[in-house]
Amino acid sequence: MSLNLRGRLNWWMGALASVSLLGACGAPDERAEDALESNEAVRDAVAGDVAVKLSVGKSAMAARDNVLVTVTMTNVSSRTVRVLKWHTPVDGLKEDLFKVTADGVAAEYNGRHYKWATPQATDYLNLAPGESVSSKVDLASVYDFSKTATYDIRFDSAGHHDATHDGVSQLSSGSVSVFVEGRPFVHPEAEAAPGTVTAMALSTANCSSTRVTSVTTAFNSAKTYANNAVTYLSGTPSATSRFTTWFGTYSSTNWNTIKTHFTSIKSAFDTKSVIVDCGCSDSAYAYVYKNSPYRIYVCNAFWSAPNTGTDSRAGTLIHEMSHFTVVADTDDWAYGQSAAKSLATSNPTRARDNADSHEYFAENTPSLP
Ligand SMILES: [Zn+2]
């Protein structure tokens, strides 16, 4: 089932729950119908529903200054609309939501790369007609401003996001220009405490003892997944259904690209000091900073996932490990099995760069030859 359908199912279950709650209070049937109707009034924002405006406090930033930008989102439609919070800056920047360029060259996004789960009700921001929400973000904590230059900054949530979540609303703004004195990039969680060593190459941070046990089991299963993938890819290259389902068009070059990725993933699990940090409480599975190997932050959905199989804990660790620039430098072009399969057909180049495609290839559930 696609994420989109799962999200819709959750919505219906929520609607049904509110109906039965009213029933229990002895409310007449019409009130239950009203409750359904008012739920239906909140729909996902579509292009043009929400206006986004950027403003900066000053037009030039010294090296010691944050690069603060205020993002104001206004519902300019006549209905209440909802947007996924992670496609907005209301809870801090969790995606590559800005286009930041200097002399036409994009400033590198050094922020978090998530594996999102099915959105929960609390993951949405509802905006009434005419309502505005403003958030201030420090872009220097997320983008690379090491070059002294005039930067062109624009909000654009369309980016390369998949279209499988509800609430993907393609918010975009006009641009602002700001002169920024260059400064080295230091990511905001760089000072995180060193973890507790629990195994040869694995340590944990902010994990309870129960979670340390679960993480260790998942880590060992991820190692098995990486080993099995390398063994499989060391066989005679051909257009197998396992390869073409997840990575599309077969050629020996394409096969070798994926083999190189899994060889790096396996090597990282086998030989690097991997830290799994349990400090995240987002509804997502996990996230990493691509340029901060080998620390993986696991979040709420990780704990409700099975150890192995589709969208499992072990598979999530494969997904996250593939993101690191020094490992396979993958991105998130599509989330979920059905979107990843479609991507293999529509854009194999992106499929070979997509973290979930690597995860599903490794999980191999259901098993493909
Ligand atoms: Zn990811």
34-43, 70-79, 148-157, 274-283 — which is least confidently predicted? 34-43
Q: Give distance in angstroms: CA of 318 to centre of ligand 1.
A: 10
The answer to whether 189 is a known catalytic residue is: no
State the pLDDT at residue 127. 93
pLDDT bucket at 158, cuts 50 / 70 / 90: confident
Which residue of the set 30, 40, 181, 320 is catalytic?
320
State the pLDDT at residue 106. 93
Q: Give distance in angstroms: CA of 112 to centre of ligand 1.
A: 9
pLDDT bucket at 198, cuts 50 / 70 / 90: very low
Q: Give distance in angstroms: CA of 53 to centre of ligand 1.
A: 28
Which of 55, 93, 77, 58 is closest to 130 using CA atoms? 77
State the pLDDT at residue 331. 95
What does the pLDDT look like over 161-176, one tens digit per residue?
A: 554 554 456 788 999 9
Q: Kindly write down the DSSP assignment for every residue of 103-129, as one continuous string.
A: TTEEPPB-SEEEE--SPPGGGEEEE-T
Residues 6+ apart with CB under 8 A from 236: none
Map tokens 């703004």 to a residue.
173
State the pLDDT at residue 187. 73
What does the pLDDT look like over 200-226, one tens digit per residue?
A: 589 999 999 999 999 999 999 999 999
Give kind and range of the element (H or E) at residue 161.
Answer: none
Residue of higher predicted confidence among 33 and 250: 250
Residues 6+ apart with CB under 8 A from 21: none
Residues 6+ apart with CB under 8 A from 332: 113, 114, 115, 160, 162, 354, 355, 356
State the pLDDT at residue 40. 56
State the pLDDT at residue 272. 93
Q: Beta strand 60-61 with 172-180: parallel, antiparallel or unpaired? A: parallel
State the pLDDT at residue 185. 85
Share of the chain above pLDDT 90, in %: 68
What would you report as the CA-atom Rg of the chain, rounded to the nearest whole angstrom?
A: 22
Q: Answer positive or negative: Cα dihedral of 42, 47, 50, 54.
A: positive
Q: Give distance in angstroms: CA of 285 to centre of ligand 1.
A: 9
State the pLDDT at residue 165. 52
Q: Give distance in angstroms: CA of 316 to centre of ligand 1.
A: 9
Angle at 4 between CA 332 and CA 9, to 5 degrees: 140
What does the pLDDT look like over 220-258, one tens digit per residue?
A: 999 999 999 999 999 999 999 999 999 999 999 999 999
